[in-house]
Homo-oligomer: A and B are copies of this chain.
Amino acid sequence: MLKVGVIGVGTVGSAVVEILEANKDMITARAGREVVVRRGVVRSLSKARAIDIALSTDPYDVVNDPEIDIVVELMGGVEGPFDVVKKALENGKAVVTANKALLAYHRYELQERAGEIAFEYEASVAGGIPIINALRDGLSANHIERITGIMNGTCNYMLTKMTDEGVDFNAILKESQALGYAEADPTFDIGGFDAAHKLLILASIAYGIDAKPEDILIEGIESVTQEDIAFAKEFGYAVKLLAIAKRDGDEVELRVHAALINRDEMIAKIDGVMNGVSVIGDCVGETLYYGPGAGGDATASAVVANIIDIARSGGKRSPMLGYNTPLEHGLKLRAPQAIVSKYYLRIRVEDRPGVLAQITQLFGEYAISIETMLQRPSEGGYANLLFSTHEAVEGNMQEVLVRLESLAFVASAPVMIRIV
């Protein structure tokens, strides 16, 4: 019998307890032994709960209990769980976590401390989609060339609504908050940080890259307007928040940002709150993994899969791609300024002669070449200039944006969206 302690019995934690109970016979057969939840940790003991396990409010009650074999960490936060997980590993307990923020900051240190003890986190990326399993096992014959993920359901829901119903960002944000798809403070989701945490986890598996959120390019979807979506539609693009990891020689670029992506790409067809991850391997080509990126049962499905894995392997860690494979240690993070991309730009300008010439001359100075251009009238003597460019260097584009904003005839900060 394998004894589990669940730290954080909220939506996901309760679902873990319920699934282990509801699918008990099947899980026993698949795990090769019985799996029982023995302890749970909650913030407050006064709240009524549907599940029937011994509860306390102190994570260390679980972590220091010699009976417990597997600690499931679902606390949230970074430094608190970091200490808890370290102690659990020190006490020889296998750990399963869904905590992407913890992993974004401390995955290498925890992996190292784990050594041969199982330390698993399938649920931390894209909820119920077994993407870590695919990277580590299913695609193990491949060098990974590129990962492109839609890994934040809030952003994808909002962008889908903006596209399908023509509603403005702020209206959709309010609706998403009312529906529970967006938090009261939505920055973590719509600013791209949630997706970035997940990207860093995938990058460590595929490339052995040890970067922190502050090292990589992270932008959100706050500046996307109906004007941009209309442009995207006209030129055959969808607008998505993408998390991208891309290998180029011995460098890996990692970035999260709103993007225009060809509507015919499979990943561009993922709408609403759903998540999806496209992986390009050097042998297999493109495979894509789609499913629910959040929700108690979906996330718990991944947590329980890890528990079953651990039961099968007797508590030892699974072999990992990336981490502990020397070949992948030679890769370096590419500086965000060195990223090469195509760009879409929207610039609101005074509608008078000479403006376009000055802008295009500025582009020329920074080796930015225009692919398409549209001019649309705006109110009050202004015009909107919409450009898409050929490939250019991120650092140059950033300087152009600063220079553009300083021009007298430019009415407001230009909007830039990368084209992938």
Asked if A325 is an interface residue, CB under 8 A from chain B, the answer is: yes
Shortest distance from the beta carbon of A236 to any chain B beta carbon, whole Å:
15
- Chain B CB count within 10 A is highest, among A19, A138, A304, for A138
Asked if A386 is an interface residue, CB under 8 A from chain B, the answer is: no
Write out, one digit per residue, whether chain A residues 255-294 have a CB within 8 A of any chain B CB (1) or not (0). Answer: 0000000000010011000100000011111111111100
Asked if A26 is an interface residue, CB under 8 A from chain B, the answer is: yes
Given contacts A130-B134, A141-B23, A326-B29, contact A287 B289 (CB under 8 A): yes
State the oligomeric state as a number of copies: 2
CA distance A269 to B268 in the complex (A): 11
Write out, one digit per residue, whether chain A residues 314-329 have a CB within 8 A of any chain B CB (1) or not (0). Answer: 0000010100011110
Write out, one digit per residue, whether chain A residues 342-385 have a CB within 8 A of any chain B CB (1) or not (0). Answer: 00000000000000000000000000000000000000000000
Classify chain A: how many residues form its interface, as a range: 35 or more
Residues of B within 8 A of A307 (CB): 141
Contact B283–A291 (Cβ < 8 Å): no
Asked if A71 is an interface residue, CB under 8 A from chain B, the answer is: no
Asked if A305 is an interface residue, CB under 8 A from chain B, the answer is: yes
Contact of A325 among B29, B130, B282 (CB under 8 A): B29
Residues of B within 8 A of A298 (CB): 283-285
Residues of B within 8 A of A288 (CB): 288-291
Asked if A389 is an interface residue, CB under 8 A from chain B, the answer is: no
Contact B308–A283 (Cβ < 8 Å): no
Contact A137–B305 (Cβ < 8 Å): yes
Residues of B within 8 A of A302 (CB): 138, 141, 284
Residues of B within 8 A of A286 (CB): 291-292
Given contacts A23-B143, A130-B134, contact A292 B285 (CB under 8 A): yes
Asked if A142 is an interface residue, CB under 8 A from chain B, the answer is: yes
CA distance A327 to B274 in the complex (A): 31
